[in-house]
Chains A and B, each alone.
Chain A
Amino acid sequence: MSGIPLTHIIIVSSLLFFIGAYGFLTRRNLIAMLMSVELMLNSVNINFIAFNKYLFPDNLDGLVYTVFIIAIAAAEAAVAIAIIINLFRNTRSIDAEDADQLKN
């Protein structure tokens, strides 16, 4: 494992982050946007673990933060999906452009 440079891991995670960012910017379906956010959160988790393993191997803080991020991502996904389901009941659509009741 030590043969892999840290830079390559960080490049993979940052490319994954930008893939998620592209999806978040172009998609208008709320569930597809939520999936892009999950990709971005995962790339951050890879970063935390890689920095922890390569630069600060004495303590496990990065790993603990990863576990916290995963727990909070689970809570976020659950709340987002509850909101999406409620929105679908009101507007019969999960498109972000259709949720404009507050506009007028």
Chain B
Amino acid sequence: METSALSFYLISAFILITGLLTVFTKKLFRAAIWLLSSLIGIAALYFVMEVDFAAAVQIIVYVGGIVVLIIFSIFLTNNEGVSMPEPLSKRKIFSALAVLCGAGYTVMLLDQHVWMAHSANAYDPSVKKIGYLLVSNSPDSYVLPFEVVSILLLAAMIGCIVIAIKARPEEK
């Protein structure tokens, strides 16, 4: 087996095991650390797939931003040493049933499907091409969604400050 295929299967196993630990571990802070490992594994998967830009964005935004935000909020809201209560066994059984049926059906469908590539050209995700696709005045560029996303981020930032700000004592 060639090296890239071997590393793909190792990274996939890592992602799935850390994902399972994220979902099953009792302590919230440990779940956050397992989520961090899983996200780093996904960035490594992008590197193996030779999509370096997505890997860099994944590490910067998810690992550097979202997980840090989640860990902050765990420390702000939780006495983090306490274990989470075990979910109800009825809920566990029915969720597991739904998820296992869904996963089995999906894997079965994927196993039978034959993919048709629409072109035999090499895939070239260079940053230059991505930049032209995101911000340029050609008709098929994504400049309007790009601007909409930037306005959304600004609105989310202001909204977060308004929601999370402490009310003044006289307003309570």
Contacts and interface: CB of A to CB of B under 8 A. Distances in A.
Nearest to A66: B54
B19 A39 contact: yes
Interface in A5-54: 6-12, 14-16, 18-23, 25-29, 31-32, 34-36, 38-39, 42, 45-46, 49-50, 52-54
B111 interface: yes
A67 B111 contact: no
B23 A23 contact: yes
Interface string B122-146: 1111000110011000000010010
Given A21-B102, A29-B28, A79-B160, A14 B96 contact: no
Given A19-B23, A49-B51, A68-B149, A63 B130 contact: yes
A89 B18 CA distance: 31
Contact of A31 (B20, B73, B130, B157): B73
Interface size class of B (residues with CB under 8 A): 35 or more
Contact of A83 (B31, B38, B49, B163): B163
Contact of B77 (A14, A64, A85): A85
Nearest to A3: B5
13 contacts: A7-B110, A12-B15, A20-B19, A25-B98, A26-B23, A26-B87, A31-B28, A31-B74, A35-B22, A42-B38, A42-B39, A57-B121, A63-B130
Given A45-B54, A74-B61, 17 more contacts: A11-B110, A15-B107, A22-B96, A23-B23, A31-B74, A46-B45, A49-B46, A50-B49, A55-B117, A57-B121, A60-B129, A66-B54, A70-B62, A73-B66, A82-B161, A94-B77, A94-B78
